[in-house]
């Protein structure tokens, strides 16, 4: 079972590589923020998987939960930034 | 209990398959909105499936032989942990679509045009900000 | 075998640091520093420093990204170098 | 590429290579022969902290009891950082604030979905942060982490519903009062220890004040009081930093 979770964690790391490609090559900032969002969600799973590998899930699940709660704030802030930026430009134009 | 472990393994592998779909979609799709579509759906579903698989493993790990003999105190910690993992799945089910929605709105606000034409489909998958209509 | 995790996370850390330095857009750079913090949290957790990992998760996931975005909003967006 | 960038790249690559090289030498988790266990002091912490303080989480015991000065002045540093941000950004003239408020009101459009999700998440976040604060003796966590998460819940309210919405729940004077109260709670615990005839932050004498506790449990409970003080300060200062930075000190408009 430990080996299974190690392989699953490695598979998650390998599957993150395409997302990293989008992070490096993304044509504009929004694509990079998308990649950040995907990697942030996957980090929660990776934390729980590391807990399974060490057989101490009760300890690791606490900050996986904190992560799942807080990860949402970053993308919300980016969305607010673009919204306010557009409003500011419209205000400047009119 | 071996059945629960096999179920858990299948769920984790299924989650990895969905995440592979999301990763391919993020690389291959032509414009920001379709990439966001792949990332949002595949990511949320794969996360939830993998967490459910981990819950199956946690329940299979409980020493059921001792519990059946009346030692219920062994049940407390695994069930608490399982509830927390299920809580993570629930919260991701709520927050991840919301952040996808917020980022979609942000893409609209920042003036990204969707990729509409069929003509330049195979020329450049990673388009610039304003494709020709 | 757990050392493979270490090496994966450390290579990703170096890659993320280089990307965050080379991106001109400061908003994207702030978000990429968020990934740096995610990977740092994974590294602490995987090395056994669980309290430090919790601090990194609490500060890096929510607060520091938001504060950097707020600062970018009040200053200019493009890097000047 | 500019020469400074090449220097930075080389530094990053060398540091990363050294870190990768060093990963082979890590001791396993819980290895009794790891170099961190060699000195007499760390062996004392590992063997005696459970006996002396009754706290299972070694990190909390070291952080809040054995190294109480360290944590106290960290709290003071956080407090002073918040005060410095408020002092540097200033408040702007009242006319400027009124202008920002008028334009912000005219262009106010908030997203309904974000507000609803924030309403759903904020109680869970606050409850979980209180759990992290109270359960810090048994699992990772404690005052700092719980405080940061509680402050993040106010930031979430400000992002979803606007800065005035969050300021109506925790105003800036109220936040400053809360931050000062946290430092006072920490320092006051130390002073009470001094008044009872012991050293500063030497908690075990507090069993005379706290009901029905012996010297060991007095240290256990005093650590909880101290962590609550840290959480107060960190909560208030995180929110103050966000509110001041996102609105340039004007406390209206903003993100």
Q: Kindly list the domain boundaries of chain C, sorted by start residue.
A: 2-74
Tell me if D132 and A77 make a contact (CB, 8 A cut-off).
no
Nearest CA in chain A to D117: A72
Q: What is the pLDDT of residue C81?
A: 59
Name residues whose C-beta falls within 8 Å of residue C59's C-beta, 6 or more positions apart in sequence.
C37, D148
User: Could you tell me which residues of chain A have a Cβ less than 8 Å from any Cβ in chain D?
Assistant: 54, 58-59, 62-63, 65-66, 69-70, 72-73, 76-77, 79-81, 83-84, 87, 91
Among A78, A80, A82, A88, which would you mutate to test the C interface (most chain C Cβ atoms within 10 Å of its Cβ)?
A78
Tell me if A66 and D114 make a contact (CB, 8 A cut-off).
no
Across the range D180-198, mean pLDDT stands at: 90
Residue in C15, C31, C45 nearest the CB of A74: C31
State the pLDDT confidence band at D52, using cuts at 50, 70 and 90.
Answer: confident
Asked if pLDDT for residue B50 goes beyond 70, the answer is: yes
Residue in D107, D132, D160 nearest the CB of A76: D160
Question: Nearest CA of chain D to the CA of B94: how many Å?
Answer: 7
Among D107, D114, D132, which would you mutate to test the B interface (most chain B Cβ atoms within 10 Å of its Cβ)?
D114
Q: Which chain D residues are Cβ-neighbours of C44 within 8 angstroms?
A: none
Residue in B39, B96, B103 nearest the CB of A78: B103
Q: What is the pLDDT of residue A93?
A: 67
Q: Which chain B residues are Cβ-neighbours of D117 within 8 angstroms?
A: 94-95, 98
Nearest alpha-carbon partner for A45 in A32, A59, A33, A60: A60
Q: What is the pLDDT of residue B106?
A: 87
Residue D248 sits at the vertex; the CA angle it makes with D168 and C20, to the nearest 5 degrees, is 115
Q: What is the pLDDT of residues B88-102, one digit of tens each?
A: 999 999 889 998 998
Question: Nearest CA of chain A to the CA of D38: how many Å?
Answer: 24
Across the range B8-27, mean pLDDT stands at: 90
Question: Nearest CA of chain C to the CA of A88: how many Å?
Answer: 11
pLDDT, mean of each 10-residue run, chain A (94 residues)? 86 88 83 88 89 85 87 87 83 68
State the pLDDT confidence band at D180, using cuts at 50, 70 and 90.
Answer: very high
3-state secondary structure D106-132: HCCCCCHHHHHHHHHHHHHHHHHHHHH
State the pLDDT confidence band at B132, using cuts at 50, 70 and 90.
Answer: very low
Question: Nearest CA of chain B to the CA of A44: how many Å?
Answer: 8
Contact present, D203 and D189 (Cβ < 8 Å): yes
Name residues whose C-beta falls within 8 Å of residue D77's C-beta, 6 or more positions apart in sequence.
none
State the pLDDT confidence band at D182, using cuts at 50, 70 and 90.
Answer: very high
State the pLDDT confidence band at D1, using cuts at 50, 70 and 90.
Answer: low
The mean pLDDT of chain C is 84
Asked if pLDDT for residue B118 goes beyond 80, the answer is: no
State the pLDDT confidence band at D84, using cuts at 50, 70 and 90.
Answer: very high
For D85, D226, D247, the CA distances from D82, given in Å and listed in that order, are 5, 20, 15
Nearest alpha-carbon partner for A41 in B23, D111, C47, C27: B23
Tell me if A68 and B92 make a contact (CB, 8 A cut-off).
yes
Asked if pLDDT for residue D23 goes beyond 80, the answer is: no
Q: Which domain holds residue B48?
A: 2-103
Give the SS3 label for residue C25.
strand
Residue with tokens 């409980």: B62
Tell me if C61 and A40 make a contact (CB, 8 A cut-off).
yes
Q: What is the pLDDT of residue D80?
A: 94
Lowest mean pLDDT, pick from B64-68, D46-50, D56-60, D148-152: B64-68
First to last CA, chain A: 63
Q: What is the pLDDT of residue D13?
A: 85
State the pLDDT confidence band at B131, using cuts at 50, 70 and 90.
Answer: very low
CA B48 to CA C74: how far, in whole Å?
A: 37
Residue predicted with more confidence, B69 or B85: B85
Asked if pLDDT for residue C57 goes beyond 90, the answer is: no
Please tell me if residue D2 touches chain C, with a CB cutoff of 8 Å.
yes
Contact present, C68 and D157 (Cβ < 8 Å): no
Contact present, D112 and D223 (Cβ < 8 Å): no
Question: Nearest CA of chain A to the CA of B120: how many Å?
Answer: 17
Give domain status of residue B79, yes or no.
yes
Q: What is the pLDDT of residues D190-237, one digit of tens each?
A: 899 888 888 888 888 888 887 767 888 888 888 889 999 999 999 999
Across the range D117-143, mean pLDDT stands at: 89
CA D122 to CA D116: how far, in whole Å?
A: 10
Q: What is the pLDDT of residue B127?
A: 46
Tell me if D111 and B102 make a contact (CB, 8 A cut-off).
yes
């Amino acid at each position: 079972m430990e080996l299974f979770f190690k392989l699953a964690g490695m598979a998650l790391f390998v599957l993150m590589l395409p997302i990293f490609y989008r992070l490096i090559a993304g044509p504009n900032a929004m694509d990079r923020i998308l990649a950040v969002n995907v990697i942030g969600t996957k980090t929660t799973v990776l934390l729980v998987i590391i807990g399974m590998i060490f057989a101490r899930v009760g300890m690791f699940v606490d900050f996986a939960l904190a992560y799942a709660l807080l990860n949402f704030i970053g993308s919300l802030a980016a969305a607010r930034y673009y919204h306010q930026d557009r409003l500011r430009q419209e205000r400047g134009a009119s | 209990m071996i059945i629960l472990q096999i179920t858990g393994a299948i769920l984790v592998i299924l989650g990895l398959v969905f995440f592979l779909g999301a990763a391919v979609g993020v690389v291959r799709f032509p414009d920001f909105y379709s990439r966001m579509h792949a990332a949002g759906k595949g990511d949320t579903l794969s996360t939830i499936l993998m967490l459910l698989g981990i819950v199956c493993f946690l329940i299979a790990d409980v020493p059921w032989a001792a519990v059946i003999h009346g030692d219920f105190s062994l049940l407390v910690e695994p069930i608490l942990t399982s509830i927390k993992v299920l809580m993570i799945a629930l919260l991701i089910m709520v927050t991840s679509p919301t952040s996808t929605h917020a980022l979609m709105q942000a893409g609209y606000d920042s003036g990204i045009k969707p990729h509409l034409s069929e003509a330049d489909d195979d020329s450049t998958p990673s388009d610039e900000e304003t494709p020709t209509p | 075998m757990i050392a493979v995790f270490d090496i994966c996370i450390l290579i990703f850390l170096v890659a993320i640091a280089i990307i965050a330095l080379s991106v001109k857009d400061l908003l994207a750079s702030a978000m990429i520093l968020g990934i740096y913090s995610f990977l740092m949290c994974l590294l602490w957790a995987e090395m056994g420093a669980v309290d430090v990992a919790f601090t990194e998760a609490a500060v890096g996931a929510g607060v520091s990204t938001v504060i950097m975005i707020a600062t970018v909003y009040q200053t200019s967006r493009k890097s000047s170098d | 590429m500019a020469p400074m960038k090449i220097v930075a790249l080389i530094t990053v690559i060398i540091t990363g290579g050294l870190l990768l090289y060093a990963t082979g030498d890590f001791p396993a988790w819980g290895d009794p022969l790891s170099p961190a266990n060699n000195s007499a002091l760390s062996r004392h912490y590992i063997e005696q902290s459970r006996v002396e303080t009754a706290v299972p989480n070694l990190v909390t015991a070291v952080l809040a009891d054995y190294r109480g000065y360290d944590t106290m002045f960290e709290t003071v540093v956080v407090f002073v950082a918040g005060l410095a941000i408020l002092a540097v950004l200033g408040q702007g003239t009242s006319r400027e604030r009124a202008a920002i408020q008028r334009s912000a009101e005219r262009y106010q459009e908030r997203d309904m979905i974000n507000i609803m999700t924030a309403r759903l998440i904020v109680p869970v976040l606050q409850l979980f942060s209180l759990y992290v604060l109270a359960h810090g003796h048994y699992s990772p966590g404690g005052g700092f982490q719980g405080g940061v998460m509680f402050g993040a819940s106010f930031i979430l309210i400000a992002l979803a519903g606007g800065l005035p919405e969050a300021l109506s729940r925790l105003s800036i004077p109220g936040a400053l009062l809360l931050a000062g109260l946290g430092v006072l709670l920490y320092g006051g615990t130390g002073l009470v220890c001094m008044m009872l005839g012991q050293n500063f932050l030497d908690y075990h004498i507090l069993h005379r004040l706290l009901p029905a506790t012996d010297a060991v449990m007095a240290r256990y409970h005093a650590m909880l009081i101290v962590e609550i003080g840290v959480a107060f300060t960190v909560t208030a200062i995180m929110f103050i930093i966000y509110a001041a930075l996102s609105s340039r000190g004007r406390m209206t408009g903003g993100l």
